[in-house]
Amino acid sequence: MSAAQLDAVLAHVDSNLDASLERLYHLLRIKSISTDPAFAAECQRAADWIVTELNGIGFDASARPTPGHPVVVAHGPEQDGTHVLFYAHYDVQPVDPLNLWHTDPFEPELKTDSNGRKIIVARGASDDKGQMMTFIEACRAWKAATGSLPVRISLMLEGEEESGGKNLPPFMQANRDELGAADIALVCDTDMWDRQTPSVTTMLRGLVGEEIEISCANKDLHSGMFGNAARNPNQVLADIIASLRTPDGSVTLPGFYDDVAEISPELKAQWQGLGFDEAKFLGEAGLSVPAGEQDRSVLEMIWARPTCEINGIIGGYTGDGFKTVIPAKASAKISFRLVSRMDPVKIRAAFRKHVQDRIPADCSVKFTEHGGSPAITVPSDGTHLRQALEGLSGEWGKQAVITGSGGSIPVAGDFKRILDLDTLLIGFAHVDDQIHSPNEKYDLDSYHRGIRSWVRVLAAFAAQV
C-alpha cells in the first residue's frame, strides 16, 4: 500500500465525519442495557443494526444466537498477511440514577464542555459504542477510498460485557476454529494515556464477582419486639465486609497475595516516566488521599495490585422516613480485581470460606457467582505491538506508550485461554468520560482521531514484516 492510499483514506474519514457521527447516534439511540431483561429486544436490535452496517461494507456478518444476547461475528474478504480479530461490545450499563442526567441518556447530543471541547453525550457514547464504531468506520473508510480492506479483518462484537458476559467463552469455544484463525486480537474498550498520548494497554486486572445474601429470621421482625434477641443480617453483613480489608488498605483473605508478582524494575521505571499526576487523577473524583496499600504508588494500586471492592449493599428499609425493622435478609455485591497469576477459582474459594466462617448461628449465606477471569499480561516485545504503536504514534505525532489498566476485560483472558491469541488493547476514551455514570460522554476528538488511528494501525499491520 502506498502513502497516497493512506492519505486518501484519512481524507475520506475527515470529509465523512458527519455521516460517521450519524451512524454512531443511530446506535446510541438503541437502549441495549444487557443486564435488564426488559431490554433484551433492544440488544437484538443493536446486533441486527451492526450486522446490516458491516454487510454494507463488504463483511460477511451475522448475529449469532447465544443463551443470552447475540454475538455479532463478521469476516472480511480473505487475504494474505496479518489477520486481526477485533472485539468490542454493543451493550451498555443501566442509566440509573436517571435524575442526574442532564439530557436523555438515549438521545445523543453533541455539546461543548467547559473546556471548549466537543463531546458526544449518551449512555454508551464512550463505553463501548463510540469505541466500537471508531474501528467500523475505519474499515468503512478503507473500503470506500480504496475498494478493499488493508488486512484480513474479523470482528466479534459482544452484547453481554456489562452483565457478566458468561455466554461468550462457550461461544468462543464452540467457534474456536473460525475465530482462532486470526493472528492477533484487538480490543477497543480502554483509555488513551492522556489527550495527547495514545497507548496500548498490555496489563489488565482480572475479576472475581460475587454476590452474597445473608438470611437470618424467616421474616422481617419489629426491632422493638426483637431487637437484641434476633440476629440482624445488616449487622452480620457489615461485620463480614469490615473483615475483608485492614485499615492500611490491604485485603485480609488468607493467601490473597501469594500469586501477586512485583512488577519489573524496567516497567516500574517506564511507569514513573509517564508523569502520572496522582493528585489530578484523584482530584477529578473529588479525592486527595489514596485509599489502598500505603506503601504503593497510585499507578501500582490500580494497575499492579489486587483489590476488593463492595459494589453494592442493601438490606432492610431504605425508603423515605424510618421503619423499625430487623430484616430477614441483607445482601452485597463484591468484586475482587486480580493481578499477575492470581487464580480466580482460588480467590473465590478463599472468599467463600472467609464468609462462611463468619456466619453466626441461625444465619445462612447464599453465594451467586458473577464472572471470573484472570489478569493478563501481553509480552512487551512482539511485532504486532510494535506495529500498533507505530500506527498510533503516526496519528498523534507523539510516541505511543505501553500502560496497564485497573479494569478487567475478561475477553482478553479468553482470547489467550481459548483461542491462544494475544490481545492488544487500544482505545481512545478518557478518564473523565463518566462511563457507568450519569452524563457519559465521548470526546468528538476521540471519535474522529480514533477512526483515523485505526486507519493507520491497519495500514501498519499491512506492512511487510
Helix/strand/coil (H/E/C) assignment for every residue in 339-407? CCCCCHHHHHHHHHHHHHCCCCCCCEEEEEEEEEECCEECCCCCHHHHHHHHHHHHHHCCCCEEEEECC
Quick one: 17 or 298, whose CB is closer to a copy of itself? 298
Cis amide bond preceding 104, omega within 30: no
Nearer to a copy of itself, 198 or 292 (CB): 292
Q: Which is nearer to a copy of itself, 176 or 366 (CB)?
A: 366
Q: How far is the CB of 344 from a copy of itself (least distance, A)?
A: 14
The nearer residue to a copy of itself, 85 or 435, going by C-beta atoms, is: 435
**Quick one: 392 exposed, middle or buried, by C-beta within 10 A (0-12, 13-18, 19+)?**
buried
CB nearer a copy of itself, residue 319 or residue 397: 319
Q: Which is nearer to a copy of itself, 149 or 301 (CB)?
A: 301
Grid coordinates in use for 286?
A: 473529588
Which sign, positive or negative, has the C-alpha torsion 247, 261, 344, 165? positive
Residue 440 C-beta: closest distance to a copy of itself, Å:
11
Residue 50 C-beta: closest distance to a copy of itself, Å: 23
Ranges of H-type helices in 92-211: 129-146, 168-174, 176-179
Distance CA 190, CA 199 (A): 9
What do you get for the CA distance between the two ends of the chain, in Å?
13
CB of 316 to a copy of itself, least distance (A): 4
Angle at 460 between CA 457 and CA 462, to 5 degrees: 115
CB nearer to a copy of itself: pick between 58 and 327: 327
Angstrom CA distances, 363 to 89, 183, 220, stand at 40, 52, 14
The separation between CA 112 and the C-alpha centre of its own chain, rounded to angstroms, equals 26
Q: For residue 52, give the H/E element and its range.
A: helix 40-56
Min dist. Cβ of residue 213 to a copy of itself (A):
12
Residue 251 Cβ, how far from a copy of itself at the closest point, in Å? 9
Give the nearest distance from C-beta 189 to a copy of itself in angstroms: 11
